[in-house]
Chain A
């Protein structure tokens, strides 16, 4: 089966500085592919570039189509949906409106069962169901993460790109977040997962890459990567460094 996403010779630049260069990446259908790497490695820039933000160059194929020049809006409508590191929720709008907006401009055939999809997302994230009329800006960090993920799910992603979904969460919520991610995969959603929490990411993922200075390693099976001595030392040693930063915002 063809991969859901394939990109080669991909680069992202800020002015004259390369944040991502010479990247070849394959995301197989129905799998979780993860990218691990240190701060400033270029993970966020890579995801934003793939989604259509930032100045980029190179070939991107999504679902068999060339989307190298597609705008973020077109990508979102086609089912390539980003949950950014900054979440970018609509803070002064209600939780319910945030979710509805996630589906408002999605693939036309799916707009009809928005109500059903909303029901489904609210069942998945009970805290959101209790806060439907509350403004998104008043949510706790964990709830915000749920809302960002829920809003993305409303658009029925063919590929979900998650940028550090466990960032700033309390340890028990980190566990819960990875359970949700695994559940989504089990339901057939393809996922590209960027994480600093390499241990957890490598546990749920099938395939993995390591990112360093804007460049990707070769594709590996996640289990084999986790077993490699130097990877374990470099990325798995500093255990839950980020996860311990409770409720950042």
Chain B
């Protein structure tokens, strides 16, 4: 491997790393607020990518059926909960969101009709439609499967997340078929920056990554709604004492995750070929990224994810068959370091 190749590989790796970072951030956000390890985050990404491909081809998006099914489940589960607990106050908002998601989703499904036959649909239009179809899935999933067990142990929540992952993945096979898909790139080509040629695709990816992370950071750190969300993560009981509903925080966290997942899907669609079952491995890499941040720090999680992307690209060039095992082998030393650090933290706390 010479320097030129290494630099090109690093660029490839960074592109993937950006996606992993977005996954890691969403997984971390959801975990801190709801204690759910969101295994289905990968499915959001793949759903968005495959939807993007379908819309570019002028086909109707299959994801609308999943949206409808989840909407029905979410509405019935929430109504049932309201009836059982006698707590009706939140139901109207949940039903309004669900209905809105279905109506907007139906409208987005009709976008292929807007383009004249033969002409390629506009990129902005397909992107918007993809986001509208995939972003609402998070809250719908939360109301369907997670709100009812919100107080269960982390292990129970993890099993639920794995179950939901398999349900989603299983339903994606009949919806999208077993073939792989890759979307058309919005831009191609490279610019010369002296020591190497940087792909425009990577620059666009980085710009959108920075914009997404920046928007999230502004929301969480600067707005009162974001602070309310953070309060749940910092001290769930304290949050309830000031009147913050954990269920609302949970639904918002899931919504941010599916929104970021949808953005990631749009970004990754032109990069690689994705299959109906590609989500799991993506989520696992996002999880490794989140763990490099100690399941606590967003900047570390993002940095770790970028590193994973680059390492993976290098590995796949040298030992392509081993690339996934090498990435996950990297998890073990990280966990070791983290656990020794936590032990020493506990010791210092005990001394105080």
Q: Is the CB of A106 within 8 A of B243?
A: yes
With A69-B86, A71-B87 as given contacts, are A81 and B241 in contact (CB-CB < 8 Å)? yes
Give the complex CA separation of A97 and B242 in angstroms.
12
Q: Is the CB of B234 within 8 A of A93?
A: yes
In this complex, the member of A69, A89, A93 whose beta carbon has the largest number of chain B beta carbons within 10 angstroms is A93
* A-side contacts of B231, CB under 8 Å: 90, 93, 101
Give the complex CA separation of A106 and B245 in angstroms.
12
Q: Is the CB of B87 within 8 A of A90?
A: no
* B-side contacts of A76, CB under 8 Å: 240-243
Is there a chain B Cβ closer than 8 Å to A84's Cβ? yes
* B-side contacts of A89, CB under 8 Å: 235, 238
Q: Which of B86, B230, B242, B245 has a CB less than 8 Å from the CB of A102?
A: B242
Q: Is the CB of A97 within 8 A of B227?
A: yes
Q: Which residue of A lies closest to B240 (CB)?
A: A72
Interface size class of A (residues with CB under 8 A): 20 to 34
* A-side contacts of B86, CB under 8 Å: 69
Q: Is the CB of A92 within 8 A of B234?
A: yes
With A69-B86, A100-B224 as given contacts, are A105 and B234 in contact (CB-CB < 8 Å)? no
Q: How far is the CB of A224 from the nearest CB of chain B, in Å?
A: 34
Q: Is the CB of B238 within 8 A of A105?
A: no
Q: Is the CB of A91 within 8 A of B228?
A: no
Give the complex CA separation of A239 and B244 in angstroms.
39
With A91-B234, A92-B234, A93-B230 as given contacts, are A82 and B243 in contact (CB-CB < 8 Å)? no
Q: Is the CB of B227 within 8 A of A51?
A: no
Is there a chain B Cβ closer than 8 Å to A38's Cβ? no
Is there a chain B Cβ closer than 8 Å to A73's Cβ? yes
Is there a chain A Cβ closer than 8 Å to B237's Cβ? yes
Q: How far is the CB of B47 from the nearest CB of chain A, in Å?
A: 33
Q: Is the CB of B243 within 8 A of A88?
A: no
* B-side contacts of A168, CB under 8 Å: none
Give the complex CA separation of A69 and B88 in angstroms.
12
Q: In A168-201, which residues have CB < 8 Å from any B CB?
A: none
Q: Which residue of A lies closest to B245 (CB)?
A: A73
* B-side contacts of A87, CB under 8 Å: 238
Q: Which of A53, A74, A101 has a CB less than 8 Å from the CB of B242?
A: A101
Give the complex CA separation of A69 and B107 in angstroms.
41
* A-side contacts of B241, CB under 8 Å: 51, 72, 76, 81-82, 84, 88
B198-239 vs A, Cβ < 8 Å mask (1 yes, 0 no): 000000000000000000000000001001101100110111
Q: How far is the CB of B94 from the nearest CB of chain A, in Å?
A: 16
Is there a chain B Cβ closer than 8 Å to A214's Cβ? no
* A-side contacts of B239, CB under 8 Å: 90, 101
Q: A: which residues have CB within 8 A of B?
A: 51, 53, 69, 71-74, 76-77, 81-82, 84, 86-93, 97, 100-102, 104-106, 151, 155
Interface CB pairs A-B, < 8 A, 29: A53-B237, A53-B240, A69-B87, A71-B245, A73-B243, A73-B244, A73-B245, A76-B243, A82-B241, A84-B237, A88-B241, A89-B238, A90-B235, A90-B238, A90-B239, A92-B234, A93-B234, A97-B227, A100-B224, A101-B227, A101-B228, A101-B231, A101-B244, A104-B242, A104-B243, A105-B244, A106-B243, A151-B242, A155-B242
